[in-house]
Structure 1
Amino acid sequence: MTSPRTRWVGLVVISVAVALIIVDSTIVNVAVPSIVDDLGLTSTQVQWVQESYTLVFAALLLVFGTLADRFGRRRMLIIGTVIFGLASVFAALAPSGEALIAARVVQGVGGAMILPSTLSLVNANFHGRERGIAFAVWGSTIGGMAAVGPLLGGWLTTAYSWRWAFGINVPLGILVIIGALLYVAESRSEHPSRVDLVGAVLSVVTSASLVYGLIEGRTLGWWEVANPPLMIGDWEWPLDVSPIPFAFLTAIVGGILFVAWGLHRQKQGRSTMIAFSLFRIPSFRNGNIAALVVSLGEFGLILSLPLWLQNVLGYDALQTGFVLLALAIGSFAASGLAGSLSGRVAAVWVVRGGILAEIVGIVIVALVIAVDTPWWQIVIGLFVYGFGVGLATAQLTGVVLADVPITASGQASGTQSTARQVGSALGIAILGTILFTSLAADLDASLESTIPDAAAREQVVDTVVDSAGTAIPAIEAQSPEVADAAKQSFSDATRWAALAAAGFLGVGLLATISLGSGRAREGADEAADAGAGAAGSGAAASAPN
């Protein structure tokens, strides 16, 4: 970006690259019920369609950030966009749930290449006040695409097919690649650090085994082997104990080894995947805990709402997109307020106010959930919730990094982004498990008088749960009484998932008590640069997955 004009056009290209990730995520949320109906996904596969992308994205974020610094940020951006686009083609053509999940895994790889590259490119090409303006434009693009995504996804799914929800990524990706080649200057670190390959492998093993255990536990059995047991081809799990405890054990051992290995490399003065030394700073340590827990509560709820709106209230994908638009509008409105409060109200209080608004919004949604809830009641709750998301995520990263030395702001920002992504992955896993487990238990109890035979009742429950609720309309044609019970149970389960999300956000709010004011860096131009970079990282990390 040699000229001012080229630099700002390049910023638009970079913003569209990030928006590519946002659009894909929001479109998938709306399209999930149609995908379930077309491909016959089980409820576990529904979780994996979203979880596989988020998990891979979170696990590889730091790795590709380091590689981008070494081999070139524009190059990494272009490679990531190509991979993301090709994976989108395979997702659009997927003949089965397994193929779609595999495509989503590859999309996660591409997304993990794109995000840190865009952050580094903005940091490398803008300075002083321009950097703050650049991140404002970048964040506005993200907010706008977050609002457009549900509508675009709903329209494509309703008018054409859910497959176009993935196909739309191809022309957007082509625009990004051409724009990056023409308007984005290449940049790389003058002193790049080596990639910690062992740490990278340990982080992937830890996160993958943990999320696998959380999602598959209700299917394979939390302790004893479920019926049917785990089958991989012709091979059957041979033990009486479920594989899930072994998955959790792997996660614990992997996490311990990851920390031990990182501390070992740190003592040798070598690069690490996570900025372990910075965890001695109370605001950084507690802020990352808050970021993880808040993200867990924020994005796990997005799994259940589209399913409930379409399968219980009977909305189509486009109508669901209009309802979810309230969340994006609230978040977009909050970004303007957060900017006006900057310098007048301590950032940590803006964060706390945002989290509190999120809790209030989710509680409103939980209280009004019923089989006949009017759309406007849900919209009110989602707007308040989205407003809180906009306030909290706009300021949290700056608060977390307030006491971090400027020279370590890059690695600290990457660590905080990873904490958010891990929280998002855990949110989908935990709240999805709460949703489907409570649905099964509640529906089984409510059908005892209608279907006295346990085997027949279990078959109905499994049909509703395994289809993630999409079987309810078909059941209604055969037995309205059973369908009514299924709708009520799905509503109750969605309410429990919402209240669980509010509970996690409450824990996140408590974790902000020990955070500083976020003003430690104010007063110097270099400090402003670091703060702007941190704010950009927070905006990206807050985007849906």
Structure 2
Amino acid sequence: MSQEATAAEPARAARGGDRRRWWGLVAISIAVALIIVDSTIVNVAVPYIVEDLGLTSSQVQWVQESYTLVFAATLLIWGTVADRIGRRRMLLIGVVVFVAASVLAAVAGSGEALIGARIIQGFGGAMILPTTLSLVNAGFTGRERGIAFAVWGSTIGGMVAVGPLLGGWLTTSFSWRWAFGINLPIGVLIVAGVLLFVDESRGRSRGRIDVAGALLSAVTFATLAFGLIEGRSYGWWSLVKPFELGPWTWSSGISPVPVAFAVTLVAGTVFVVRTLRRTAAGKPTLFRFDLFGIRSFRNGNVAAMIVSLGEFGIVLSLPLWLQNVLGYTAFQTGVILLALAIGSFGASGLVAVLGKRLSAAAIVRVGIVAEIVGIAGLGLVIGPSTSWVAIVPCLFVYGFGVGLATAQLTGVVLVDVPVERSGEGSGLQSTARQIGSALGIAILGTVLFTTAGAQLDSGLSDLGVPAQARSAVVNAVVESAGGAIPALAGNPRTAPVAPVAKEAFSDATRYAAFTAAGFLVLGLLATLSLGSGRGREEGYAGSPAQRGESPRRSREGEELPDAESPAVP
């Protein structure tokens, strides 16, 4: 072999390694898409599920909420465990659990069976999300890292919009069962891609897992998420409707929501105190609070939580308005929301160009500004006779902003976190976003339905509708989340009040959009504390992987200490 050919071998090997990493990113992104799409598909499929399985209103609620509560409660646990047992291994376990639960959901013959499958799905989804994030954080450096996070973040933003479209097509053209069954072939594709293209990585610590800390963490975040999500439904203090959990019913006195918050406070306090004491004693813990000593991680999580308050809140109210006020079908609504996905995916293609001129934190700010413009624009054009032509450009700008802000903010949060603790940091970052999202849904949902009820009551009063009839119409519209409006329009006896209901629900959707924009303004201000967000890309030594080198590993694939790595207590 010639000297030139011999010299070319390392370059070809490097190019092959680069291609392999990017194919691995594709597999990781599809895994993220799997859990994001599934959460939105179910919302579209619920009416068909109710008709087929005869679900009660309580069962309908738990089909949607059981997944969310388990998902939010265990994100931190699985992110930390992934550092111990291997991130690729945890991702594979999560995909298998999620797909197996999807198959159970697809063949479910009762509401109880479907809820059980959704709970298992929640565990699988919580294993997947922070693990994909930590794999991206560990596998890419420099400008490539920004591009990789852009792909990861745009997948989340885009799939939120693609889910309703895919769900509408599957449920109307085939069956609601395919909304879950579609996960099986996708899961097989993910497993094959991860095995072929994603390398194993793990942190240094492989000690015992803090089971008691994990349980305390799960109780803390589950009760917090429950309280934030269900406050409007059951009452923030006094019970407004019975709370049913299987055969057990909570039907009088105080609402379960303040009780849940009290449990959150107690469990969270015990978790924090216990963690600090075990850390001081050198014992294993689920999470070590020294990560909050990293400025970018601490401030970035605060910013991420605030941004999440408003970032996806409009996705709650906009489909309801499009279908119940403007009269679009579920599939047509999905097509309109596709503009958000196109904008989000388009943003990922621009990150490489922007990254040459702007820091990661600056890109985050550009993205949030675009989100504010898009969502405020929606607030300005929303009305009972708005055309989709006015909606689509606003959604595109909003999606473009999500594609920039979500991904790069995630990168800023983790930029200075030691790679060996990526799962730990990713789990907390995902949890912060999830709690922020739950709080945003709670607030925006309250704004939407409270405003709709007040505006409708006032409008009906101006028409001279008697108080009893007025109350019945308001309750019907609010309790159905606007679903009663088409029925009002179709009934000759109630047709005169339908325009008032449409106007009221449009006003409420507009106010929800402006509220979301206000949260994003606060999030923009919070990003001013992030600095440049360049971290290890500029002058930070870090671990070998952080410097773009291959870390030293043991035979089991464990990252070994490096002399230049920062000390990790």
User: Does 1:515 pair with 2:533?
Assistant: no
Deviation at 1:431, TM superposition (A): 2.1
Aligned pair partner of 1:497 in 512, 521, 534: 512
Q: In angstroms, what is the RMSD of aligned CA positions?
A: 3.7
Does the 8 Å CA contact 2:41/2:179 hold for their aligned counterparts? yes
Q: Could you list the per-position Cα deviations for residues 227-251 of structure 1 after superposition, in whole angstroms to 9, with x for gaps in the alignment?
A: x544567766476333332222222
Flag the 1:274–1:301 CA change in 2: closer, same or farther, 3 A: farther
- Helix, strand or coil at the partner of 1:447: helix
* Match among 240, 245, 264 for residue 251 of structure 1: 264
State the number of aligned residues: 532
Deviates more, 1:284-293 or 1:134-143: 134-143
Q: Aligned-pair distance for 1:399?
A: 2.7
Indicate the larger mover: 439-448 or 107-116.
439-448
CA distance in 1, matches of 2:249, 2:138: 53
User: Structure 1 517/6 Cα, relative in aligned 2: closer, same or farther at 3 Å?
Assistant: closer
Q: Kindly tell me: are residues 407 and 516 of structure 1, through their superposed partners in 2, closer, same or farther at Cα, counting changes over 3 Å?
A: farther
> Does residue 282 of structure 2 align to residue 279 of structure 1?
no
Gaps of 5+ in 1: 534-545
Matched, 1:217 2:228: no
2:83–2:422 Cα contact (<8 Å) kept:
no
Superposed CA deviations along residues 328-352 of structure 1, whole A, max 9, x for unmatched, are: 1112222222221214223222212
Partner of 1:387: 400
Which residue in 1 is equivalent to 2:216? 202
Q: Rate the CA distance shift 1:337–1:41 in 2: closer, same or farther, 3 A.
A: farther
CA shift, 1:298, in A, is 0.8
Given that 1:30 and 1:321 are in contact with CA atoms closer than 8 Å, whether structure 2 keeps it comes out as no
Deviation at 1:52, TM superposition (A): 3.8
Matches within 5 A, 1:244-323: 244-323=257-336
Check 1:232–1:527 CA distance in 2 against 1; reply closer, same or farther (3 A cut): closer
Alignment partners' CA distance in 1, 2:51 and 2:544? 50
Quick one: structure 1 residues 492 and 147, their matched pair in 2 at CA, closer, same or farther if it must change by over 3 Å?
A: closer
Instruction: For residues 31-86 of structure 1, give each alpha carbon's deviation from its aligned partner in whole angstroms, at most 9, with x where no partner exists.
Output: 56666787788999877655543332232122122333434444433332232123
Are the equivalent residues in 1 in contact too, given 2:310–2:516 (CA < 8 A)? yes
Q: Which residue of 1 aligns with 2:370?
A: 357
Question: Does the C-alpha gap of structure 1 residues 111 and 280 become closer, same or farther in structure 2, counting only changes over 3 Å?
Answer: same
**Number of the residue aligned with 2:28:** 14
TM-score (norm 1): 0.84
Residues 333, 246 of structure 1: alpha-carbon distance in 2 compared, 3 angstrom cutoff: same
Amino acid at match of 2:457: D
Structure 1 window deviating more from structure 2 (280-289 vs 126-135): it is 126-135
Residue matched to 2:564: none
Structure 1 residues 337 and 415: CA distance shift in structure 2, 3 A? same
Q: Structure 2: which amino acid aligns with 1:108?
A: G
Question: Contact 1:43 / 1:465 at 8 angstroms: preserved in 2?
Answer: no
Q: For residue 177 of structure 1, report the CA deviation from its aligned partner.
A: 3.5
TM-score by length of 2: 0.81
Inter-partner Cα distance in structure 2 for 1:95 and 1:248? 34
The answer on whether the counterparts of 2:374 and 2:396 sit within 8 Å (CA) in structure 1 is: yes
Change (3 A) 1:338 1:527: farther
* Separation of aligned partners in 2, 1:279 and 1:364: 36
1:448 counterpart SS class: helix
Corresponding position: 1:430 with 2:443: yes
CA distance in 1, matches of 2:136, 2:316: 32
1:361–1:382 contact (8 Å) kept in structure 2:
yes
C-alpha distance after superposition, 1:428-480 (max 9, x if no partner): 33322332333333333333355744444333333222222223222222121
Larger radius of gyration: 2
Within-5 A mapping of 1:407-446: 408=421, 410-446=423-459
Identical aligned pairs, as a percentage?
Answer: 65
Of 456-465 and 41-50, the range deviating more from structure 2: 41-50
Equivalence for 2:357:
344
Residue 233 of structure 2: SS of its match in structure 1?
A: helix
- Of the three residues 365, 387, 393, the one matched with 1:374 is 387
Q: CA deviation at 1:178?
A: 4.5
CA contact under 8 A between 2:78 and 2:427: conserved in structure 1? no
Query: 2:567 matched to which residue of 1?
Result: none
1:77 maps onto 2:91 in alignment? yes
Find the counterpart in structure 2 of residue 538 from structure 1.
Answer: none
Cα gap change, 1:96/1:433 in structure 2, threshold over 3 Å: closer, same or farther?
A: farther
CA distance in 2, matches of 1:142, 1:408: 23
2:340 corresponding residue in structure 1: 327
Deviation at 1:383, TM superposition (A): 1.2
What is the distance in 2 between the residues matched to 1:367 and 1:40? 40
Cα displacement (A) at 1:382: 1.1
CA distance 1:288–1:180, shift in 2 (3 Å): closer
Shift of 1:315: 1.0
Aligned mates of 1:328, 1:150 — CA distance in 2: 11
Residues 444 and 458 of structure 1 are in contact (CA less than 8 Å); yes or no, is this contact kept in structure 2? Answer: yes
In 2, the alpha carbon distance for the partners of 1:379 and 1:77 equals: 35
CA 253–152 in structure 1, closer or farther in 2 if over 3 Å, else same? same
1:485 matched to 2:500: yes
* Partner SS for 2:276: helix
Preserved contact between residue 90 and residue 103 of structure 1 (Cα < 8 Å): yes
CA gap of 1:136–1:432, structure 2 versus 1, over 3 A, is closer
1:57 aligns with 2:71: yes
1:7-46 maps to which residues of 2 (within 5 A)?
A: 10-28=24-42, 30-31=44-45
Which range moves more in the overlay, 366-375 or 47-56?
Answer: 47-56
The residue that corresponds to 2:120 in the other structure is 106
Aligned-pair CA distance for 1:174 = 2.8
Q: Distance in 2 between matches of 1:463 and 1:412?
A: 45
Which stretch shifts more, 330-339 or 443-452?
443-452
How has the CA–CA distance of structure 1 residues 381 and 123 changed in structure 2, closer, same or farther, with 3 Å as cutoff? closer
Q: Which residue of 2 is the match for residue 539 of structure 1?
A: none
Q: Contact 2:87/2:423 (CA < 8 Å) preserved in 1? A: no
Task: Using the TM superposition, name which of 49-58 and 228-237 deviates more.
Answer: 228-237
Q: State how 1:399-410 maps to structure 2 within 5 Å.
A: 399-404=412-417, 408=421, 410=423
1:447 aligns with 2:447: no
1:407 Cα deviation after fit:
5.8
Compute the displacement of 1:405 (Å): 5.5
Q: Which moved more, 1:433-442 or 1:89-98?
A: 89-98
Q: Which amino acid aligns with 1:264?
A: R
Distance 1:528 1:146 in 2: 35
Q: CA deviation at 1:291?
A: 0.4
Counterpart of 1:541? Answer: none
Give the C-alpha shift of residue 353 in structure 1: 1.9
C-alpha contact (below 8 Å) 1:33/1:470 kept by paired residues: no
